[in-house]
């Protein structure tokens, strides 16, 4: 049986801090195997950078992704180039109608056309880039040397979990479908796309939670979490998921290069899932030690 001293030492990781009911991470008490993970989880958007780094430096990740997408990317680039050559001057004149007194008409035209080229590329890559994202997740998992048994059943980490409503509202349902983001981006935010980053920032904010949930879909499936568990898990980390999803959606919303970030974001999401799962393992062990402590106290009092 594990000693009470061992239990008390591990229990200190999730003692309450200034946020009632939420585990506080005191790094001086964190086990050595969780210290780096705890630091990374303090700022979830850092996993976006990790994903970008691994995509461009890990051959086992970027080569399968590029092999799947290279033919479609080349064809799409050729069609996009022809489109730009044939239509740029015409679109520049069209934009003058909306920005008659602006000195940045050419810049706005370049942004507008680059979004059209992105649409063309995505048309050629739509199926293959989905496969590339799934492969990027799988290769990231394999590179960490973890098998299916690494993903254990969901463990509640809060003593008092938040109450959540699993019935999605109209906005959540709209953003969760393929049509909602398209309508917001192509219709409601279309005038703002003529101004650098404004439309992209607003679109990323609207899509933050749905993007992060989509990027962790494979994680939730691996843990066999139900709808209620997913809702509670994300609510407990609402601002973590919102900040991660905002940066991910922002990068994916960039013209042309956003297609690359669509793959790297999946890698970053996988790396974050590994650290979240390590903490889940710790909480499961903590719960086991708690049960042992209660059993020990009952036997001792007898």
pLDDT for res 1: 41
- CB 43 within 8 Å of CB 25: no
Residues 184-238 have pLDDT tens digits of 555 666 565 556 567 778 878 888 998 999 999 999 999 999 999 999 999 999 9
Residues 6-26 have pLDDT tens digits of 434 444 444 444 333 444 444
Residues 103-156 have pLDDT tens digits of 666 777 787 788 889 889 998 988 888 999 988 998 888 888 878 889 999 999
pLDDT for res 221: 93
Position 253 pLDDT exceeds 90: no
pLDDT > 90: percent of the chain: 32
Cα gap 146→291, rounded to integer Å: 28
- CB 116 within 8 Å of CB 30: no
Position 36 pLDDT exceeds 90: no
Tokens coding 61: 């990740």
- CB 279 within 8 Å of CB 13: no
Q: Identify the CA nearest to 108 among candidates 123, 125, 91, 121.
A: 91
Cβ atoms < 10 Å from Cβ of 172: 14
What are the Cα distances from residue 163, in Å, to 60, 115, 124, 234, 239? 42, 41, 43, 12, 16
Position 44 pLDDT exceeds 80: yes
pTM (global) more than 0.75: yes
Using only the alpha carbons of the chain, give its radius of gyration.
Answer: 23
Burial class (CB in 10 A: 0-12, 13-18, 19+), 69: buried
Cα gap 104→284, rounded to integer Å: 57
Position 166 pLDDT exceeds 80: no
């Amino acid at each position: 049986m594990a000693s009470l001293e061992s239990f008390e030492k591990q229990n200190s990781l999730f003692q309450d801090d200034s946020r009632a009911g939420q585990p506080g991470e005191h790094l001086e008490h964190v086990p050595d195997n969780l210290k780096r993970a705890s630091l990374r989880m303090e700022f979830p958007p850092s996993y976006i950078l990790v994903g970008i780094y691994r995509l461009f430096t890990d051959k086992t990740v970027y080569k399968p992704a590029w092999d799947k997408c290279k033919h479609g990317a080349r064809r799409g680039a050729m069609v996009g180039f022809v489109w730009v050559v044939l239509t740029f001057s015409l679109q520049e004149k069209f934009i003058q109608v909306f920005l008659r007194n602006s000195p940045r008409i050419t810049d706005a035209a370049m942004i507008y056309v680059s979004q059209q080229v992105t649409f063309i590329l995505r048309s050629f890559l739509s199926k293959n880039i989905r496969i590339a994202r799934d492969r990027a997740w799988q290769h990231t998992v394999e590179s960490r040397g973890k098998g299916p048994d690494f993903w254990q059943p969901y463990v509640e980490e809060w003593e008092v979990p938040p109450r959540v409503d699993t019935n999605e509202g109209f906005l959540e349902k709209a953003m969760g479908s393929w049509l909602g983001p398209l309508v917001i981006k192509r219709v409601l935010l279309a005038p703002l796309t003529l101004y650098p980053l404004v439309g992209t920032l607003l679109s990323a904010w609207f899509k933050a939670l749905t993007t992060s949930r989509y990027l962790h879909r494979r994680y939730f499936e691996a843990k066999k979490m139900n709808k209620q568990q997913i809702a509670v898990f994300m609510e407990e980390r609402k601002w973590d998921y919102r900040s991660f999803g905002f940066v991910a959606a922002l990068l994916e919303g960039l013209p042309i290069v956003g297609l690359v970030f669509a793959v790297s974001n999946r890698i970053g999401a996988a790396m974050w899932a590994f650290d979240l799962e390590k903490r889940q393992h710790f909480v499961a062990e903590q719960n086991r030690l708690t049960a042992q402590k209660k059993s020990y106290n009952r036997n001792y009092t007898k």
